[in-house]
Structure 1
Amino acid sequence: MTKSKKKTRESNSAKEAAQATIDRLDTCNDAYTSGAFKYLRLLVHVLSAAQFSYGIYFHYFRVHWPKDLEEEELKARWGGKFKYLTFLDVILQAIYHSLALLNDLFGDNTVHVASKSKLRSVRDYIFSALAFPVAHNVCISFWVIYIWDRELIFPSALDAIFPSWLNHVVHTNVALLAVMDMFTCFRKYPSRLAGVTGNISFILLYIIWLHIVRYFSGEWVYPILEVLPLAFRYLFLGLLVGFNLVCYLLGEFCNSIVWAQELKLLQQQQQQKIKQG
């Protein structure tokens, strides 16, 4: 009888703890999926998708290279503007924020262990493995080299044709809006293996693309690659891969801090299900 009562008490305690966890998750979801927070998230995605889409249009159709730039013909012939990580990144951001907007309208934003929305699962993976790290890689790398010697990455001749606002859209806002998205969208990061694999694969494919362009055009995409000796050139490219990985790990860490309470509740819920199961 004593053992039976003890088991009953333990069972009741486990049920009460599980219900308390569910109640706290419901409270989080009430605040997260409705009211001001819901509309803030929607606003971030609407503005981001519109801004990056227009940036792509303006960059591709309205920005024309000066005739006195020697590589103008090569730009048009080999890869065009698609050879630049900056341009590929703004396309990536437009795709991500458009998916996020579609998920806001038709998908699922609730705090769950695993989302039932495939749209949200794709959104979360693209953000984690690609959108956040590539945006910060582009932003930080560009402005560091720009401050050091802008002629190596953004020659002053481009000032006349490349508006200041567009420069910030493709080199600054990509990172700022990724941060805003992190604070408005709950997500569980993928497994470390899955996230790192996607992250490194993307940047390695881009480096291969750089070499294809170099082989057929005879010119490196970025002037800095022309002036660096062979060993330092590949050290630079290796650092590009490493820094992209660092940006991924930074995003993973920041997400765990921003959503610490929700992730802890989900972990408790999983542990309680295992004990009850």
Structure 2
Amino acid sequence: MTSDDVAFQIAEDFWGHTGTTSSECICTGMPFRDLTRGLHTTVLPFVLIEMRTTHHQYPSRSCGLAAVCTFAVGYILWVCWIHHVTGVWVYPLLEHLSPGVKIIFFAAVTVVINIFYLVGEVLNNYIWDTQKCIEEGKEKPKLD
């Protein structure tokens, strides 16, 4: 399986696949792919609004990254446990990957999640430092 095959599989699962459990979501009658698409794409505007309206006090970087890694490993273990119990992968892409590639994939996903955490921390600090300077009537110093 090439990287193009993996990319196509991800796109097909997200945008075209009707779901592995049912073609209709039991709770709403909405097609499963529409529910998945909505849940995964409507979050960003709300995250950006919250970031602009609420200052978040982040823990130390090492504690924050340790917490993110703990969550990621816990989630990966949960996905593997579901496969162990049911024989079905929550994400259909995983059934096409060999065990070694799955380990690399899970490690890469954990790295990406950590990068998202760091981007969020940097954006939060940038937004709120700028806001603080505006309120105090000072110009923000350049980092050049």
Compute the TM-score of the two structures, normalised by the length of structure 1.
0.38
User: Unpaired segments of 5 or more residues in structure 1?
Assistant: 1-143, 265-277
Map 1:245-256; keep pairs closer than 5 Å. 245-256=114-125
Counterparts in 2 of 1:162 and 1:195: CA distance versus 1, 3 Å:
same
Q: Quote the offset at 1:201 in angstroms.
A: 0.8
Letter in 1 for 2:68: N
Partner of 2:18: 156
- Contact 2:17–2:33, Cα closer than 8 Å, also in 1: no
* C-alpha distance after superposition, 1:167-225 (max 9, x if no partner): 44410111221111001112222111221121111111011111211212222221100
Distance 1:261 1:197 in 2: 28
Q: Bigger radius of gyration, 1 or 2?
A: 1
Aligned partner letter, 1:189: Y
The 5 Å alignment of 1:45-84 reads none
Structure 2 stretches lacking a partner, 5+ long: 1-5, 25-29, 134-144
Separation (CA, whole Å) in 2 of partners of 1:153 and 1:229: 24
- Where in structure 2 are the equivalents of 1:74-223 lying within 5 Å? 149-151=11-13, 155-156=17-18, 158=23, 161-162=31-32, 164=34, 166-223=35-92
Quote the sequence identity (%): 27
Query: Between Structure 1 and Structure 2, how many residues are aligned?
Result: 121
CA distance in 1, matches of 2:13, 2:90: 13
Mean alpha-carbon deviation: is it higher for 249-258 or for 150-159? 150-159
RMSD: 3.0
Name the one with the larger helix percent: 1
Alpha-carbon shift at residue 151 of structure 1 (Å)? 3.4
Moved over 4 A (4+): 144-148
- Pair 1:215–1:155, CA change in 2 (3 A): same
Structure 1 residues 210 and 168: alpha-carbon distance in aligned structure 2, compared to 1, 3 A threshold = closer
Contact 2:9 2:93 in 1 (8 A): no
Residues 14, 36 of structure 2: 8 Å contact kept: no
Residue 104 (structure 2) pairs with residue 235 (structure 1): yes
Superposed counterparts of 1:254-269, under 5 Å: 254-261=123-130
Report matched runs for 1:12-23 at 5 Å.
none
The CA deviation at 1:162 is: 2.8
Residue identity in the other structure for 1:260: D
SS in 1 for 2:32: coil
1:240 Cα deviation after fit: 1.1
Q: Matched residues in 2 for 1:188 and 1:149: separation?
A: 35
Structure 1 residues 84-120: Cα deviation after superposition (integer angstroms, max 9, x where no partner): xxxxxxxxxxxxxxxxxxxxxxxxxxxxxxxxxxxxx
One-letter amino acid matched to 2:127 = V
Question: Using the alignment, how far apart are the partners of 1:156 and 1:186 within structure 2?
Answer: 39
Cα-to-partner distance string for 1:256-275 (whole Å, 9 max, x where unaligned):
111114667xxxxxxxxxxx
Deviation at 1:154, TM superposition (A): 5.9
